[in-house]
Amino acid sequence: MKVKSSFFCNNCGAESPKWIGKCPSCGEWNTYHEEVIEKQSTSLEKDFGWKKNTKEKVAIKKLTEVAPVSNIRTDTLDGELNRVLGGGIVSGSIILVGGQPGIGKSTLLLQLALSVQKKVLYVSGEESEEQIKMRADRIGISNPGCYVFTEVNVSRILKEAATLEPDMLIIDSVQTLVSPYIDSAPGSISQIRECTAELQRFAKVTNIPVFVIGHITKEGGIAGPKLLEHIVDVVLQFEGDQHYAYRILRTLKNRFGSTDEIGIYSMDIQGLREVRNPSELLLSPDDTYLSGSAVAASLEGLRPLLIETQALVSPAVYGTPQRSATGFDLRRLSMLLAVLEKRCGLNFGNQDVFLNIAGGIKISDPSIDLAVVTALISSLQDIYVRKKICFAGEVGLAGEIRPVSRIEQRIQEAGRLGFEVMYVAKPRSDRMNYSNAGIEVRTLAKVDDLLSEVFA
Ligand code: TYD
Ligand code: MG
Same domain, 408 and 295: yes
Answer whether 104 contacts ligand 1 (Cβ < 6 A): yes
Closest CA to 329 of 372, 299, 298: 372
- CA dist list (Å): 318 to 132, 315, 333, 376: 52, 9, 20, 20
Whether 343 is covered by a domain: the verdict is yes
Check which CATH number belongs to the domain holding 307 and give it.
3.30.230.10
Residue 57 lies in a domain: no
Residues 143, 261, single domain; the answer is yes
Q: Assess if residue 376 is contained within a domain.
A: yes
If asked whether residues 82 and 160 sit together in one domain, one would say yes
How much is the pTM? 0.79
Give the CA count within 13 Å in the CB-facing half-sphere of 345: 3
- Residue range of the domain that includes 14: 1-43
Residues 270 and 288 in one domain: no
Cβ of 175 closer than 6 Å to ligand 1, yes or no, is no
Probe residue for ligand 1, chosen from 97, 107, 173 as the CB with the greatest number of ligand atoms within 8 Å = 107
Report which ligand 1 atom has the smallest distance to the Cα of 126. Answer: 6
CATH number at residue 179: 3.40.50.300
Q: Which of 274, 292, 319 is the last residue of a domain?
A: 274
Å from CA of 80 to ligand 1 middle: 18
Residue 129 inside a domain? The answer is yes
Helix pair 154-164, 189-206: axis angle to 10 deg: 10
Residue 247 and residue 199 share a domain: yes
Are 307 and 259 contained in the same domain?
no
Which residue has the least CA distance to atom 18 on ligand 1?
Answer: 269
Q: Which atom of ligand 1 is nearest to the CA of 213?
A: 6
Do 80 and 156 share a domain, yes or no?
A: yes
Q: What is the 3-state secondary structure (H, E, C) of 192-232?
A: HHHHHHHHHHHHHHHCCCEEEEEEECCCCCECCCCHHHHHC
Per-residue confidence in pLDDT tens, the chain, 456 aa: 566 788 888 888 888 889 999 988 888 888 888 888 765 544 444 555 666 555 556 678 888 888 776 667 889 989 999 999 988 999 999 999 998 888 999 999 999 999 998 999 999 999 999 999 999 999 999 999 999 999 999 999 999 999 999 999 999 989 999 998 888 888 888 888 889 999 999 999 899 999 999 987 766 666 666 778 888 999 999 988 777 788 889 898 999 888 888 888 999 899 999 988 777 777 776 667 788 999 999 988 778 888 899 999 999 988 889 999 998 999 999 999 999 999 999 999 999 999 998 877 788 889 999 999 999 999 999 999 888 899 999 999 999 999 998 888 899 888 888 889 999 998 877 666 666 668 899 999 999 999 898 887
* Nearest atom within ligand 1 for CA of residue 173: 6
Residue 178 CA, ligand 1 centroid: distance in Å: 25
Q: What single-letter amino acid sits at 230?
A: H
Q: Is 436 found in the same domain as 365?
A: yes
Ligand 1 near 103 CB (within 6 A) = yes
Domain boundary among 243, 274, 305: 274
pLDDT, residue 41, reads 44
- Shared domain for 376 and 409, answered yes or no, is yes
Q: Is 107 in the pocket of ligand 1 (CB under 6 A)?
A: yes
Q: How far apart are CA 336 and CA 195, in angstroms?
A: 48
Domain contains 59: no
Whether the Cβ atoms of residue 349 and residue 378 lie closer than 8 Å to each other: no
Last residue of a domain, one of 218, 252, 274: 274
Spatial contact of 22 and 29, defined as CB atoms under 8 Å apart = yes
Find the 213 Cα to ligand 2 centroid distance in Å: 8
Please give the full DSSP string across 60-94, using - where no structure is assigned: ---GGGSPPP-S-EEP-S-HHHHHHHTSSEETT-E
186 and 94 housed in the same domain: yes
Residue 361 CA to ligand 2 center (angstroms) comes to 22
| Ligand 1 centroid – CA 150 distance (Å) | 19
pLDDT for residue 434: 67
Which mutation among 135, 172, 265, 267 tests ligand 1's pocket best, with the greatest number of atoms within 8 A of CB? 267
Ligand number with the minimum distance to the CA of 124: 2
Question: Which ligand has the nearest atom to the CA of 105?
Answer: 1
**Do 89 and 35 lie in a common domain?**
no
160 and 269 inside one domain? yes
**Three-state DSSP class for 435?**
helix
Question: Measuring CA to CA, how many Å separate 145 from each of 30, 94, 115, 116, 117?
Answer: 48, 21, 10, 9, 7
Q: Domains in the chain: how many in total?
A: 3
The closest-lying atom of ligand 1 relative to the alpha carbon of residue 101 is 8
